[in-house]
A and B are shown apart, each in its own frame.
Chain A
């Protein structure tokens, strides 16, 4: 038993390497910010989702990009970054400010912007380190494709109230998934069991 422990210890020590090994450090409050933003998104609701049942759409969230047992930090970072960026841009648009409560929207945008700042400084370093043969990360591309579907849907539905409500729910869902993923990677990084 002791021998087994002795053999496993170096592995444990190696895997619990410092978070800054990829040259990137997210502040402690990052996950807390994510949860705060999610809460604000929830508060933004204007219409009852039940009244918009006919407008529901399957946007085909790219599950295979997030549900991977091999959680590589770079991939998770780029997925999460893309997620936050796209949600931010969508809510920043003029059409969004016409659809949602100004104060809440400002709070959400402010929170998302802050998250983006933190993620971008990380991601720029990761991209320069990786092999630059592909200008697009596969995961990023799938995320963009997914958000483009959302935008085309909004255009098709002429930015109606129900369309925005469906989109809001969709964003919340994918945002919480992305946050969980990020949390998991950060936990692994810190070496907690």
Chain B
């Protein structure tokens, strides 16, 4: 009996641990399993499993830590919770910083080991909830006003302008669907039928983060009965000589119109911008389907424009909002050009900018290229080049006048914007150094040839003189009777009447003095016949004398 009691006690003692697993100092508590973090917009939820059976109440507590914090801190909303889910949305943390979570089971005074989750960035894992939807009906349009998912200072506070909204609209009866994607939270669906029921659902997307949100619930609305005055349609805007011409179509006459404008960026704001529309000066009350406004009134930016018709007390709905992006009327100041002929047959051109170029130096921020037009002053044949600011035009005709002008263009500009032409500069092209050499050589050659010709002529004249006009030295005896009378005179100056004076010599032995007659003609002296021999000697002597005298 005692042995039986003892054995039972032993069994009880040994069997106690598995019979009473909650005994103090026994088996450890299990932490929660399959812990999940669910974040949708600003709602942060922690979910887990805990399948252990227990008799007493079990609690769960969680903690978090970020890189900036040194130690673990209690996760708000997740302390001593009894269910297997908790909401820690009140946690204020930088959603773009990594965060670590851990959770454990608590029972009485015992705790399980921590179950730690991998670190994560809330913004990366968060899902996009449905956007808020507010609808207003017109006769042929529906005005949709969306509010982005989350609150103003929420998870997506930094993503508001990145949201893209996908709207699915369908006619309730026919089921014809239309899918629209828009960047603006305020969107109008046009070209609808009056007095019809339309339904829609919307979801928000973040394309750059490759996130697609949940659809909103379906909203339905009825379009109104058709309005007497339809809204203007087919709005278009054209730039024209410092103005913008705004034109639209309208089926009826005798109707007044007004046009309004809005900064495009205001449409990105989900808040209502209805009160932010402003009238366009010059288009506030017009009777025609067009109006014009100064380009200066709309400095560079993106705008929206809408037009409304009115007749008496009736007004139409606003037309479709037309997006209008102006490009800055960039005033590119004309360059200043200077040209100088320095080298041979070329023109050195310098392009500069005027000092008073307006708001700072435009050139520093724009890449400019220059179109240079130059032409021969006489022929007006033009040639163009696109160049840098300092260059030389080669291969020009020397001593011709060339004129140059230039204008600046924006590099790679689709609109080909340019400045007006600069001043025109005309320059005479100087001949080159090589040409100068040739010129001087030419001149030298000409001079030389003139001198040469002169010398040749002189030489020829000398020759002629020599040939035709020899200086004969007659013997003294004859000489006294023959006054120097060059024979060349006979040939060279035949005009002069030649006078011959002849002497007849009868007796050689004694040369008698012959009485000279004073007559100019027929005076002659008579010589004897013996002179024939002497004449032969005579001529030789003469020749010798001649040669001597001619030297």
Contact = CB atoms under 8 A, between A and B. Distances in A.
A114 interface: yes
A85 B207 contact: no
Contacts of B158: 86, 89, 144, 147-148, 151
Contact of B96 (A28, A93, A144, A190): A144
Contacts of A141: 96, 121, 123
Given A92-B269, A144-B96, A152-B94, A109 B366 contact: no
Interface in A77-93: 85-86, 88-89, 92-93
B403 interface: no
A149 B94 contact: yes
B350 to A, nearest CB: 21
B210 A123 contact: no
Interface stretch (A29-37, A48-56, A65-73, A164-172): A29-37
Given A88-B161, A117-B302, A144-B158, 5 more contacts: A28-B411, A29-B366, A86-B158, A110-B265, A136-B209
Contact of B208 (A92, A113, A124, A190): A124
A94 interface: yes
B479 interface: no
B268 A123 contact: no
Contacts of A190: 367
User: Most A CB atoms within 10 A — which of B211, B300, B330?
Assistant: B300
B264 A113 contact: yes
A101 interface: no
Contacts of A94: 271
A64 interface: no
B453 interface: no
A118 B410 CA distance: 18
A114 B302 contact: yes
Contacts of A111: 301
A127 interface: yes
B514 interface: no
A92 B209 contact: no
B18 to A, nearest CB: 50
B412 interface: yes
B208 A144 contact: no
B328 interface: yes
A184 interface: no
B263 A106 contact: yes
B64 to A, nearest CB: 16
Interface string B279-315: 0000000000000000000001110000000000000
Contact of A145 (B96, B264, B271, B302): B96
A127 B211 CA distance: 13
Interface of B: 92, 94-97, 121, 123-124, 152-153, 157-158, 160-162, 207-211, 263-265, 268-269, 271, 300-302, 325, 328, 330, 365-367, 410-413
A135 B121 CA distance: 12
Contacts, number: 90
A112 B152 CA distance: 21
Contacts of B211: 135
B47 to A, nearest CB: 23
Contact of A110 (B153, B157, B263): B263
A113 B160 CA distance: 13
A85 B157 CA distance: 12
A182 B59 CA distance: 55
B210 A135 contact: yes
A35 B360 CA distance: 11
A132 B94 contact: no
A109 B262 CA distance: 13
A100 B301 CA distance: 20
Contacts of A155: 153
A38 interface: no
22 contacts: A28-B367, A28-B410, A28-B413, A86-B158, A89-B158, A92-B161, A94-B271, A109-B265, A113-B264, A113-B265, A113-B302, A114-B302, A114-B325, A136-B123, A144-B96, A144-B123, A148-B96, A148-B97, A148-B158, A149-B94, A151-B153, A152-B94
Given A32-B366, A127-B208, A85 B162 contact: yes
A120 to B, nearest CB: 9
B268 A113 contact: yes
A86 B264 CA distance: 17
7 tightest Cβ-Cβ pairs between the two chains A and B: A113-B265, A145-B96, A110-B301, A32-B365, A144-B96, A135-B210, A148-B94
Interface in A94-111: 94, 106, 109-111
Contacts of A181: none
Contacts of A106: 263
Contacts of A31: 365
A76 interface: no
Interface string A125-169: 001000010011000110011011101100100000000000000
A22 to B, nearest CB: 16
Interface string A6-45: 0000000000000000000000110111010000000000
A94 B366 CA distance: 35
Contacts of B301: 110-111, 113-114
A32 B325 CA distance: 17
A60 B264 CA distance: 33
A113 B214 CA distance: 28
B260 to A, nearest CB: 16
A92 B268 CA distance: 9
A128 to B, nearest CB: 9
A35 B82 CA distance: 58
A33 B366 CA distance: 11
Contacts of B121: 136, 141
A117 B301 CA distance: 11
B210 A85 contact: no
Contact of A92 (B162, B265, B300): B265
A92 to B, nearest CB: 6
